Amino acid sequence: MYRYLRPILFKLPPEAAHTLTLKSIGLVGQIPLIRKTLSKIYTPGASAPVDVFGLRFPNRVGLAAGYDKNGEAIAGLSALGFGHIEIGTVTPLPQPGNPKQRVFRLPEDQAVINRMGFPSRGAKYLLRQVQKSKPAETILGINIGKNKDTPLTEAAQDYITLVQQCAPFADYLAINISSPNTVGLRELQHSQYLHDLLQAISEARSAASQSLGRRVSLVVKLSPDIAISDLDQSLSVILDNQIEGIIATNTTIARPSLASPHAAETGGLSGAPLTDKSTQVIAHIYRQTGGKLPIIGVGGIHSPKDAQKKLDAGASLVQLYTGLVYQGPGLVKQIIEHIS
């Protein structure tokens, strides 16, 4: 069906097409009969559960953050076969993100460039959506980030606030310090900021876990553009602070050879041009940590082969986003049924 819908969606501006698609999925999620029908269509015939971060995932394929920024379509998305859904990035206070136009399709490259800048309706709004619509069986991650106007020296407080607010509703929290679209954010990946930040977040998580009577896992989302020496220092800090895992990777500001006329647009590049680079980062993290840090592999997964390469490189789970734009929701089932 998607091969007939895609030409129609691609006639719309990318952000408008995304909004329309998300609202449609959100509406579907509110109608039990349609949601059940979709689930029958998209749920794979056989999938192997996997234990990661102390959680049991029904399969290895999840939805990456950025698709449902405000948690408005969790029930509908959960019917598409995903083993987990990651919503956000959410910020403590509402913010509009960067000015439009801020999303560009690069169909010649099977890619997208975005410079969204964490548009968010804020934590209170997102958590109302979670309470209203999250199916009980859905493994939910919430991706958290700082507000644009919060200085780096005060960033920890934004993350602490979000841990306190979101922990009761999340199975895991993803610490986003690697988006290229919030000025200065990637500085938080480096050891001079990272140790103090993760120590503060870890303490907030411990307090929340004790109050809830269950552990809320923490994972850190890293950039594909970080220098190897800096990455190794960051991994050491992450291990020292007992963080449960890594998401590798976010979008890239690099511009490999691209055919699209939009190639020079600023922002984070995702999709097929990121496939090999993110897989290389996964492999390095796995080697450097001796497999001690479970990895969620993200970046340029457009086929079962792409997903398998990330799993073979050391990832325990994978996530999709741009691949869905070009291949459609059937990609989820296709991957699950073909990976080992």
Distance from chain centroid for Cα 225: 17
8 A C-beta contact, residue 63 and residue 83: no
**Sheet hosting strand 268-271, strand order edge to edge:** 103-106, 111-114, 268-271
Distance CA 178, CA 9 (A): 29
The two three-digit tokens of residue 96, written as one number = 């509009």
The 3-state DSSP class for residue 221 equals strand
Q: Which of 107, 116, 115 is nearest to 258 (CA)?
A: 107
Q: Residue 257, Cβ neighbours under 10 Å: how many? A: 7
Annotated catalytic residue 179 = yes
Q: Which of 248, 225, 252 is nearest to 316 (CA)?
A: 248
Catalytic pick from 47, 120, 178, 179? 179
DSSP-assigned letters across all residues of 223-234: -TTS-HHHHHHH
Specify whether the backbone of 291 is left (phi greater than 0), alpha (psi in -120 to 50) or beta.
left
DSSP-assigned letters across all residues of 275-308: HHHHHHHHHHHHHHHTT-S-EEEES---SHHHHH
The two three-digit tokens of residue 329, written as one number = 């929701």
Annotated active-site positions, please? 179
